[in-house]
Amino acid sequence: MEFYAYSKRQFAWSDFNTTGYHRVDKEIGGDYYARLDCKRWGKHCLIAYLTLDNGEKIFVVTWPRQNYFGFKEIPIGRIIDIGFDYNPDTDEVFLYSVDYFENGSPDQINADQMFFEAMGSAEGGNTGGALS
């Protein structure tokens, strides 16, 4: 059986600490590199816990109609490219893209991890988050 995400019971038994993670807010618009820290099933949804390249910890809720934005298949610990936008009409931030390269070589994945860690430590952990 393939592992996609923790069940509610498995998540409760895990040692994953959600302290410090918050829902995406208006100020977060843009593109970021992020590490997938954990993921768990909710009621009819998948909740992904992420650490952005600027050190901010967030969680996003994804739905089956969006095919969970691919989070179902992304291994925990993998670095992804994620994009957010703000809709002033609804006053909500929404997730618009998640890029993950499933067939990346171990060397490339390791290089991505080292890049992510270096970005988080640059300038006291604040890179502004926006990708160029």
Answer yes or no: is 74 within a domain: yes
Answer yes or no: is 44 within a domain: yes
**Residue 25 is part of which domain span?**
8-121
Residue 126, pLDDT score = 39
Residue 73, both tokens: 């298949």
Number of domains in the chain: 1
Strand partners, 40: 6, 47
Percent of the chain with pLDDT over 90: 36
Instruction: From residue 16, give the alpha-carbon distance in Å to each of 5, 12, 35, 39, 55.
Output: 13, 8, 15, 10, 17
Answer yes or no: is 114 within a domain: yes
Q: Where are the beta strands (DSSP E) in the chain?
A: 22-23, 30-41, 46-52, 57-62, 79-87, 92-99
Residue 112, pLDDT score = 63
Residue 42, pLDDT score = 93
Answer yes or no: is 17 within a domain: yes
Answer yes or no: is 128 within a domain: no
Answer yes or no: is 65 within a domain: yes
- Comparing 9-13, 27-31, 44-48, 76-80, which segment has the lowest mean pLDDT? 27-31
Domain of residue 18, CATH code: 2.40.50.100
Percent of the chain with pLDDT over 70: 74
Answer yes or no: is 3 within a domain: no
Grouping H, G, I as helix, E, B as strand and the rest as coil, residue 80 is: strand
Answer yes or no: is 82 within a domain: yes
Banded pLDDT at 128 (limits 50, 70, 90): very low
